[in-house]
Structure 1
Amino acid sequence: MSVERPLWRALTAFRVLALCYAIARYCHTCGKYAHPLGGWLYLGALALWTLATLRRTGSALRCTKGFLLAELAVALTGILLTDALDTHARVVAGDNTLPSIWTAGAVLAFAIKGGWRWAAGASAVIGVSNVVERGALTGGNVHSIVLLFFVSTGIGYVVEVARGSEAALARALRVDAATRERERLARDIHDSVLQVLAMVQRRGGEIGGEAAELGRLAGEQEAALRALVRGAGAPGVAVAAAGGHGGDPAGGLATGPVNAPGGASDPDHGPQGPRDLRELIGRHAGPKVTVAAPADPVPLEPRTAAEVAAAVGAALDNVTRHAGPGARAWILVEDEPDAVLVSVRDDGPGIPAGRLADAAAEGRLGVAQSIRGRLRDLGGTAEVVSVPGQGTEVELRVPRRPGAHDAVRRHDRRERTS
């Protein structure tokens, strides 16, 4: 919500209250005026104007320059009419003008609409009209003029600062949204194109001949694409990943491009109801991958479940890539009241010290985007703990949406009764 909106609402309320005050004060002092009927006519017109233009001061869009000038003209008319309708003695003594504090509302409208410069100009006009009405510059009107000037310009300055802050915040949000979209695209590229290119390069080198040349070209394209992704602003730490989430025919870990379970490439995904994370992660189970999960469903929102499962697939890719085809992996799913924890542990050689930083410099996205980036976008965390010679453990933690347990139970009951 714009910070200006409360100010416009406050100005609308101020105009109405100031009108009531001006009428009440005139009721008390009208007997002292030389021409009281003229004062009543002006206050009647002021009341009609104020009530008819209530919506005008509801927003900056409706409070146009023409309206501001008309509002100022109404205030000036009341101030100058006071000298003609009141007695000379009361005017010289410094008695209130007909519009009284309603005049301040006109100046404040200038301040909120145009900032401190507009406020200063409107205050100067009102100040001059007060001096003309009394015929001299007295201590009383100097005090009122200075007070109105400082209050209105102060509010105008605050409005300008608030507008600048809002604009800066809007720019920051746009940059953040663009960065997140680039990171999402980088994850998709990593989980598909880069892994295919890496696989073509590896297999081409193994086959030799013309396939080796094809593998070399694929390697060059992979390096160029990684540099492009890195230059697009994908931050973080990464290690290379090649392979997919499903088991291969030999019962090893992943060997093909990753397609996030429950995502766009998953035909089993449905938008209705929460997803059981056990089902998605259970697809990774095989002779070399052990999955341990609770007996009860682990419900998550469809997108959240798909992203967590994709992060698990990326972690298994890293096991295949860096721990070797003979490595074993263990996946543990823990269902806590406020969060879901998934741990992926392997018995590989671990990650050498400094390897993650080197991978980040090379633009590799396995950990930075496919794992950490996914969990960060879900409001969760991903921790990587590796001890050389003792394997690596990736711990994923994603907060649970309140009421998800009850929702999945209702969903299961509907399926059983249908």
Structure 2
Amino acid sequence: MGIEGPFWRAIAVFRIASVVYAAILLARAGGYGHPVAGWLVIVVMATWTAFTAAAYPSARASWPLLLADLAVTAGCLLSAPLVQDRAAISGGVMPITATWVAGPALAWGVARGRRAGAASAAILSAADLWLRGSQGMNFASLPVNGAVLLFLAGVVVGHVAQLAREAEELMRRAVQLEAAGRERERLARGIHDSVLQVLALVQRRGAEIGGEAAELGRLAGEQESALRALVQVPAPTDDLAEDGLTGQRGPRQRALRVPGKGGPADRVDLRDLLRPYGSARVTVSAPATPLFLSAGTAHEVGAAVGAALDNVSKHCAEGTRAWVFAEQDGEAVTVSVRDEGPGIPDGRLEQAAADGRMGVARSIRGRIADIGGTVEITSSHAGTEIELSVPADAGRWWRV
């Protein structure tokens, strides 16, 4: 039944209340001119109301049911001359159906949209006006207020029902995106714990051994980067936000966002700061999910990564490949910068600090230490890896 269920229940309540109202009017008028016929029409209305209350939700408002509803309602409306005197009808007395006549307009609007609701209202309004005109009412004095209200009811209800269906579809897509994101994240974790680590080991060991093994290691490094990119889930885009979708967030969750940014108000997705470092010789790989850090922490990590890549440009041969890998492991966010250069000679960092060259000591170690993180540098003739680790102080969306 979906989102239409509440609409059908509301229409059923409206029809029941309208039948009761029509019966009260009939009783107060003493049965109109023909009491037996009047109560027979009321029975037909009550029976059809009970039938449609059960049929609409289960039959999903098929065209045969909609047309039958319109025909039965129009028939009850046009039976007014059998119940009421000609003078009463021509004098503007409400027909036997009273407000019950609006049921099909509401049903058509919910089932087929505002145009169908308007069409149904037009047919019923035309039947009402023809009835009054055929009973001697002057054309110039025909009441149109009821027709206008009926038309507006069909259009408005149809429009609201259409908006509700669109919202339901957006919610369904959001749930699918969230489920797909969770599955890809699960696969990414499994791949990281097995395949990616093996490929990284092959790349490192192949470079250390040299010869044909070095070429095998290089290919393993390329496949590691490609695989990381494959399991990465893009961050939510502005287009999705405009459609009511919010990436991997559930349909009932909202994140506090800065206009044009990808995270909560005082948080920054570290991936957005690392991606600009990507180039023909630098591969940037990030996990499937956002890596939110406080703005200050994220920018310091990004600057440290930039300093590490600057060192690759300065101290390695032109065209030396480098890789930047970012991930969240429990309560820490780790970023490693790996290159395939000649490595850092023993004592080189200490000598550079003594000579006043503080590229590593301040731009990397100092930055990370100031934000409560750690730096680990591993170097050999096969290359250098600088691993930055900082507390994951904002690794999840804020939900309100």
Query: Taking structure 2 as the reference length, what is the TM-score of the superposition?
Result: 0.59
Q: CA deviation at 1:83?
A: 2.2
Q: CA deviation at 1:383?
A: 5.9
1:170 to 165, 169, 172: 172
Question: Where do 5+ consecutive residues of structure 1 fail to align?
Answer: 237-349, 376-380, 400-418
Q: Hey, what's the Cα distance between the residues in 1 that align with 2:172 and 2:104?
A: 30
Q: CA deviation at 1:126?
A: 0.4
> Is it true that 1:186 corresponds to 2:184 in the alignment?
no
Name 1:394's counterpart in structure 2.
390
- The 1:389/1:159 distance shift into structure 2, 3 A limit, reads closer
Alignment of 1:312-391 (within 5 A): 353-355=303-305, 365-367=325-327, 370-371=328-329, 387-388=366-367, 390=369, 391=373
Select between 381-390 and 192-201 the one with higher mean Cα deviation: 381-390
- The 1:395/1:130 distance shift into structure 2, 3 A limit, reads same
Q: CA deviation at 1:87?
A: 1.1
Q: Hey, what's the Cα distance between the residues in 1 that align with 2:191 and 2:154?
A: 55
CA contact (8 A) 1:26 1:98 kept: yes
Name 2:22's counterpart in structure 1.
22
2:92 to 81, 91, 94: 94
CA contact (8 A) 2:80 2:95 kept: yes
Name 1:264's counterpart in structure 2.
none
* Identity across matched positions, percent: 35
- The 1:183/1:82 distance shift into structure 2, 3 A limit, reads same
Q: CA deviation at 1:141?
A: 2.9
Q: CA deviation at 1:53?
A: 3.4
* 3-state SS of paired residue (2:96): coil
Q: Which residue identity is paired with 2:98?
A: S
Name 2:81's counterpart in structure 1.
83
Q: CA deviation at 1:133?
A: 0.8
Name 2:12's counterpart in structure 1.
12
Q: Hey, what's the Cα distance between the residues in 2 that align with 1:356 and 1:228?
A: 24
- The 1:69/1:351 distance shift into structure 2, 3 A limit, reads closer
1:158 to 160, 163, 172: 160
CA contact (8 A) 1:382 1:396 kept: yes
Name 1:121's counterpart in structure 2.
119
Name 2:39's counterpart in structure 1.
40
Name 1:303's counterpart in structure 2.
none
Alignment of 1:229-268 (within 5 A): 229-235=228-234
Name 2:285's counterpart in structure 1.
none
Question: Where do 5+ consecutive residues of structure 2 fail to align?
Answer: 236-299, 310-321, 336-364, 375-388, 396-400
Name 1:223's counterpart in structure 2.
222
CA contact (8 A) 1:230 1:363 kept: no
Q: CA deviation at 1:113?
A: 0.6
Q: CA deviation at 1:10?
A: 0.8
Name 1:133's counterpart in structure 2.
131
Q: Hey, what's the Cα distance between the residues in 1 that align with 2:306 and 2:162?
A: 46
What does the per-residue CA deviation read over 1:289-347, in whole Å, with 9 as the maximum and x for residues that have no partner? xxxxxxxxxxxxxxxxxxxxxxxxxxxxxxxxxxxxxxxxxxxxxxxxxxxxxxxxxxx
Aligned residue-pair number: 269
Name 1:278's counterpart in structure 2.
none
Q: Which residue identity is paired with 2:29?
A: T
- The 1:213/1:120 distance shift into structure 2, 3 A limit, reads same
What does the per-residue CA deviation read over 1:41-84, in whole Å, with 9 as the maximum and x for residues that have no partner? 1111222222233212335x443221221111121111111123
Name 2:259's counterpart in structure 1.
none
Name 2:270's counterpart in structure 1.
none
> Is it true that 1:195 corresponds to 2:226 in the alignment?
no
Q: Hey, what's the Cα distance between the residues in 2 that align with 1:166 and 1:357?
A: 48
What does the per-residue CA deviation read over 1:3-47, in whole Å, with 9 as the maximum and x for residues that have no partner? 32211111111111111111111111144x332211111111222
Q: CA deviation at 1:215?
A: 4.3
Q: Hey, what's the Cα distance between the residues in 1 that align with 2:13 and 2:334?
A: 57
Q: Hey, what's the Cα distance between the residues in 2 that align with 1:358 and 1:91?
A: 91
Q: CA deviation at 1:356?
A: 7.6
Q: Hey, what's the Cα distance between the residues in 2 that align with 1:117 and 1:163?
A: 15
CA contact (8 A) 1:111 1:156 kept: yes
Q: Hey, what's the Cα distance between the residues in 2 that align with 1:157 and 1:76?
A: 24
Q: Which residue identity is paired with 1:395?
A: P
Q: Hey, what's the Cα distance between the residues in 1 that align with 2:68 and 2:213?
A: 77
* 3-state SS of paired residue (1:353): helix
Q: CA RMSD in A?
A: 3.2
- The 1:228/1:205 distance shift into structure 2, 3 A limit, reads closer
